[in-house]
Amino acid sequence: MEKETNKRQYLLADRKSHPQDSVIEIGGGDVESVKIGGGNFRIIAGPCSIESEEQIIETAKSVAASGAGLIRGGAYKPRTSPYTFQGLGKEGLDYLAKARSIVKKPVVSEILGTEHLSEYENVDMFQVGARNMQNYELLRALGRQKKPVLLKRGMSATLRELLLSAEYILSEGNPNVILCERGIRAFGHYTRNTLDLSAIPVLKEMTHLPVIVDPSHATGRAELVAPMALAAVAAGADGIMTEVHPDPAKALSDGMQALNLAEFAELAKQIEAIRPFAYRKK
């Protein structure tokens, strides 16, 4: 019976077993080492899909200059339809590695299955998408290595279910997990999903793991990314992940929700300005 129960069961993720905030380090070696959690706030930015070497390098340079601490870019894309662009795959990861070597920032990219693990050598953090939050074979495999994992909340996952999925990684020996709220499925039609910002303070009670927010997938509309990013920061998020494209109208996936380079630079400034006034538990 996997209905929501009162039993916590997320023993290692539980704040009770680890009262201090976890601080996760990403990168290091030939790129910068950045921290998320325990007061360390970072912006992760980049295109939904890596479309070409030029596109990812241009975007990476620009967002790094504007304040992004990590670069994102999708190579293997989980698409609802088999007939839409599925990403450049290994070729995309190679382009991302070039961008990484140029901007010297750690990079994050989604992984769809254990088949691909060996291709992620130059990726600093694995992303597990909402659709794979309960792909337990993948979670276990990511638990048996040490790179950080950015675990997105499933479309209709409760917070307990999210923490139990994190627990699959933690219990295999990898303590480096960052949680990401990206909107849940509710009855509304105006946004792609319903961003559940109360998940931030509630998760911070339940767990010591860092919590970041993805306002791009949550809303699906570029004009809503800034208000929701600022709201997430105000509520106490440890980071923001947002999609940025040099020319959103020409993006091969999710262009409607991407900021352009100037919009991202503006948002990064607004986030910087509001951060000192964000909620902090006493």
Q: Are 280 and 243 in contact (CB under 8 A)?
A: no
How near is the Cβ of 157 to a copy of itself at its closest, in Å?
8
> Which CB, 53 or 119, lies closer to a copy of itself?
119
| By CB under 8 A, residue 265 contacts a copy of itself | no
Number of residues that bind a copy of itself (CB under 8 A): 78
Quick one: which of 250, 185, 176 has its CA closest to 217? 185
Query: Can you tell me which of 2, 39, 121, 249 binds a copy of itself, judged by CB under 8 A?
Result: 2
> Which CB, 55 or 132, lies closer to a copy of itself?
132
| By CB under 8 A, residue 278 contacts a copy of itself | yes
In the chain, the N- to C-terminal Cα span, in Å, equals 37
| By CB under 8 A, residue 191 contacts a copy of itself | yes
User: Interface residues for a copy of itself in 87-116 (CB under 8 A)?
Assistant: 112-115
How near is the Cβ of 279 to a copy of itself at its closest, in Å?
4
List phi, psi (to 5°) of 194: -110, 110
Query: Can you tell me which of 90, 104, 144, 185 binds a copy of itself, judged by CB under 8 A?
Result: 185
What are the DSSP E strand ranges found in 29-181? 33-36, 42-46, 70-72, 107-110, 125-128, 149-152, 177-181
How near is the Cβ of 123 to a copy of itself at its closest, in Å?
17
Q: CA-to-CA distance for 24 and 40, rounded, in angstroms?
A: 9
| By CB under 8 A, residue 13 contacts a copy of itself | no
Of the candidate spans 90-98, 99-107, 182-190, 241-249, the one that interacts with a copy of itself by CB under 8 A turns out to be 182-190
What is the rounded radius of gyration, in angstroms, for the C-alpha atoms of the chain? 17
Query: Can you tell me which of 124, 254, 261, 268 binds a copy of itself, judged by CB under 8 A?
Result: 254
> Which CB, 33 or 198, lies closer to a copy of itself?
198
User: Interface residues for a copy of itself in 137-156 (CB under 8 A)?
Assistant: 137-138, 154-156
What are the DSSP E strand ranges found in the chain? 24-27, 33-36, 42-46, 70-72, 107-110, 125-128, 149-152, 177-181, 211-213, 239-243
How near is the Cβ of 205 to a copy of itself at its closest, in Å?
8
Q: CA-to-CA distance for 115 and 108, rounded, in angstroms?
A: 18
Quick one: which of 129, 176, 138, 188 has its CA closest to 157? 129
DSSP 104: -
| By CB under 8 A, residue 11 contacts a copy of itself | yes
